[in-house]
Amino acid sequence: MGNTKSGAVSKEILEELKLNTKFSETEIVQWYENFKRQCPTGRISKEEFQDIYSKFFPDGDAQTYAQHVFRSFDTNADGTLDFKEYIIALHMTSTGKTNKKLEWAFSLFDVDKNGYITKSEVREICTAIFKLIPRNELSALPNDENTAEKRADKLWRFIAKGDNERVA
């Protein structure tokens, strides 16, 4: 292990994160130390991310969903999550602010990243979400949303109107 980079967060990243999230400098520095400990290379690969996700859903299949979540966090699309992307992701999914959550949900559903959500993208994400649900819990779901198709239809009716419309 060389000593090419210092162990601290760079000033630019720190300033940017302070501007774009509600986290304080102390919190960001703490997150960074945690991140470095868990991930000495400073980057999380898709495989590592899938592993982390699988631990949260031991009874379901989290692989597909983890891939979608990873894509929505990997804002520069280079196939890894760096510290900045990780903190922004954490902020978007954990903060109480509805517009931030919506922003994230939008990027989650926009599978091909073209700025629009289509019904088939909604169905794709619902299918991934359904794989997270353990089999014995599926039977307990209400009749109008106990399959990925039904859930997608319902969600689509809520956010859009016709089958061929798209959400921008």
Other Cβ atoms within 10 Å of 117 Cβ, number: 24
> Which residue stretch of 59-67, 68-76, 126-134, 149-157 sits at the interface with Ca ion (rule: CB under 5 A)?
68-76
Decide: is 76 part of the binding site for Ca ion (CB under 5 A). Answer: yes
Sorted by sequence, the CB contacts under 8 Å of residue 45 that are 6+ apart come out as 79, 80
Query: Which residues on adjacent β-strands are paired with residue 167?
Result: 117
Decide if residue 120 touches Ca ion (CB under 5 A): no
Nearest alpha-carbon partner for 33 in 86, 73, 75, 92? 86
* Smallest separation (angstroms) from Ca ion to the CB of 143: 30
74 binds Ca ion (CB under 5 A): yes
# residues contacting Ca ion (CB under 5 A): 7
Q: Considering beta carbons, is residue 60 or 124 the nearer one to Ca ion? A: 124
Q: Enumerate the β-bridge partners of residue 82.
A: 43
For Ca ion, give the closer residue by CB, 46 or 141: 46
Ramachandran assignment for 110, one of left (phi > 0), alpha (psi -120 to 50 degrees), beta (any other): beta
Least spacing, CB of residue 110 vs Ca ion, in Å: 4
**DSSP SS3 for 81:** strand
Please, are residues 88 and 75 in contact by the beta-carbon 8 Å criterion?
A: yes
**Smallest separation, CB 74 to Ca ion (Å):** 4
Task: State yes or no: residue 124 binds Ca ion (CB under 5 A).
Answer: no
Q: Considering beta carbons, is residue 57 or 116 the nearer one to Ca ion? A: 116
User: If binding is defined by CB under 5 A, does position 165 make contact with Ca ion?
Assistant: no
Residues 85-114, interacting with Ca ion (CB under 5 A) = 110, 112, 114
Quote the CA–CA distance of 149 and 141 in Å, as a whole number: 13
Which residues make up the interface to Ca ion (CB under 5 A)?
Answer: 74, 76, 78, 110, 112, 114, 116
